[in-house]
Each structure stands twice: as C-alpha cells, then as structure tokens.
Amino acid sequence: MTKKFYSNIITLLIIIAIFLLAEYVIGYYHNRRILSSSMIKGQNSHGVLKGYGLKLTTKGNIPVKDKNIIINDGEKFDYVLEVFNNTDKDDTLEVLLSINYTQVPFFLNKSNNSRLFSYEFTLNKGSKVDLPIEIDNSKFPYKINPLVFTIRSTLNKSKADFFDSSFSSRYNILTDKNSNLQLNNDIMFKYEKMKESEVKFKGLWLNNSFNKINEYIYNEKIIKVKADDYVKLALRTYSYTEDALFWMLIDDKRAEFKDSLNYIYFQNVKNSLIYKEVCFKAPSKKGTYKILGFIASNPIEYINTNNLEDYLIKASNKMFIRVE
C-alpha cells in the first residue's frame, strides 16, 4: 500500500465524519426548534412557557382550555389571541388565519372596520401581545371547521439559518350545521411503512433533491425562477396519524398547487414516511420570497384534548425563491 492510498483513505474518512456531524447538528437544531415552537418544553421563573407560543382567551381574560369551540347560530368568534415571545431575541411577527384550510380575512378589533388577511407586529423578548379577533358565523359552514392561526416571522430573512420562529396552532369551531368538510385526497405520492427509528430526519423537510425518499439533503436554498412559472420541490415527512394535510406559504400568501388546490391531503399514512413532489406557481412580481410548509395531523377530526400530540402542526425548514 502506498502513502497516497492511505492519504486518500484518511481524507475519505474525514469527509464522512464531517457529513455525519452535519446531519447530527441539523437534526438537533430542528428538533429543538420544533419542541420550542409547539410549547412542549418547560417554564421560566414567571410560569410562562419557553419559546414562542399562542393561546386564546375570552374578552374577560379567561383562558380557552378546550380546542373545540362551539359557535351557535347568530354568534361570532370573538376572542383574544395572545402571542408571547419568551426567547432571548426580539422578533417581527405576522398573524394569518385559515378556516377549513383556506386563508381568510378577519377583523382585528371592533374599532377597525377593515378586513385583514395578515397583521404584522413587533414582539420583544420576554413580552406578549393581545390581538382581539372577530370572525362572523357565516365563515363556519360545517359541523367541524378547523381554524388555524399561523404566526410567521418576517424579521428573520437570513438565508444562513435553516429554520425560524414560524409556527401554527389549530382549534375546531363546532356549529349546529349539518354538512361535513370534504377534502380531496392526493393519490400521486409515495410512502413507505417503517418505524420512526428508521427515518433519517425529523419533522417536515422541503428541498429540491428528488433522488431518494429517506433523505434530507439540503442543497439549494435559493431557487431562481421566472414570474408565474411552476416551481417543483420535494416534501418529506413522517406521519404518526392516519391522515395529514400539507399547505405552504409564499411570504404571507398561500401557495396554489398545480391542481388548483391550496392543500395536499394524505390518507392512510400512519407510521409512514411520506414523499411528494409539489408543484406551485411562482409570484408574478420580481423579488425574493420565503417558502414555508406546514403539515397538520388528523386535520378534520374532533380534537381530543387529552392527546394533543395527535393534532400538532409541524413547520418545515425555510427556503427561498428568487423571481427574476
């Protein structure tokens, strides 16, 4: 064996070690962000959950503990959304609403007669903001109407970070109406039944690597496209539940996929690794746009508040498209 041969072997081992270390670091920070954003971790000295979070209260400042809220005929959704930032950094955030997985406008308070599709606000570290939100009863046409609040970071535009402070939380609005929400299930996707321990990543990943299902190679963060062209990304996630629903934001607007839907609904995917190539339309104006994906477990079921982990919404890594 020559010295050059041993040198090549050592170089190869170093490259493998660097790759494994990168996998560990990315997975570690992704898991830590998921736990923080979904408010699973502990409390600080003031009894407030660490990380970012939200909760609903009545106008009388009484916390809404049930994730299933009854709105009778003639009533409004009239609650206060409390958003808190119990981290060590200031942030600029934006709140968006969707009902039955379609982005909708809302009234922020009684003194503001204009409808908003999003509302941006600054939230300093260790502080919270109260947002009085009204939604008319006519916006809830079904027995069970999933209402999703999405908090999106607008300050964190850094392309060096994989993730930011964006997250979502779901409530169900229950009415006395007779019809049920029907979703169009997707059949053009791949999935593999496997144990969680066999999956090489955690959470929800978007990238433009289309080679293997069980991988999370993170290559191009900025994809250059032309106005109104279709963009293709690969979606990968592990599902613990029978059903899951995916949607995506382009900055503060819902993406429209190639089949004219603004969501992708997966059925019969419990304990499966999901892979889907998603095509969506790029904006018509030039500029750089942030892409974020979200996936909801058990998206149209009654929420069992004793087992909230079955109804979590996971946020993806962030990517960018540059419309030229």
In a domain, 156, yes or no: yes
Strand pairing report for 167-174 and 102-104? unpaired
Structural domains in the chain (count) = 3
**pLDDT greater than 80 at residue 219:** no
Strand partners, 228: none
End position of a domain, from candidates 144, 174, 204: 174
Same domain, 161 and 236: no
Quick one: pLDDT at residue 45? 31
| Average per-residue pLDDT for the chain | 82
Same domain, 22 and 102: no
- Check residues 106 and 244 and name the one with the higher pLDDT: 244
Same domain, 68 and 167: yes
Domain span at residue 166?
51-174
End position of a domain, from candidates 150, 174, 198: 174
Same domain, 156 and 196: no
In a domain, 61, yes or no: yes
Q: 307 falls in which pLDDT band (50, 70, 90)?
A: confident
In a domain, 45, yes or no: no
pLDDT digits (tens, 9 = 90+) for 173-198: 999 999 999 998 887 888 889 888 89
- Distance CA(18)–CA(72), nearest Å, equals 58
In a domain, 183, yes or no: no
In a domain, 185, yes or no: no
pLDDT digits (tens, 9 = 90+) for 57-105: 998 889 999 999 999 988 999 999 999 988 888 888 999 999 999 999 8
Average of per-residue pLDDT across 306-312: 88
Same domain, 8 and 133: no
Same domain, 151 and 248: no
Same domain, 57 and 30: no
Same domain, 10 and 64: no
For 290, the 3-state DSSP assignment is strand
- Distance CA(82)–CA(142), nearest Å, equals 26
Q: Which CATH number fits the domain that encloses residue 100?
A: 2.60.40.10
Same domain, 134 and 165: yes
pLDDT digits (tens, 9 = 90+) for 234-268: 999 999 999 999 999 999 999 988 777 899 999 99
**pLDDT greater than 70 at residue 47:** no
Strand partners, 93: 121, 153
In a domain, 222, yes or no: yes
In a domain, 181, yes or no: no
Q: Please report the DSSP string for 118-163 in residue order.
A: -EEEEE-TTEEEEEEEEE-GGG--SSEEEEEEEEEESS---TT-S-
Same domain, 28 and 57: no
Same domain, 96 and 206: no
End position of a domain, from candidates 174, 198, 219: 174
For 134, the 3-state DSSP assignment is strand
Same domain, 61 and 25: no
In a domain, 106, yes or no: yes
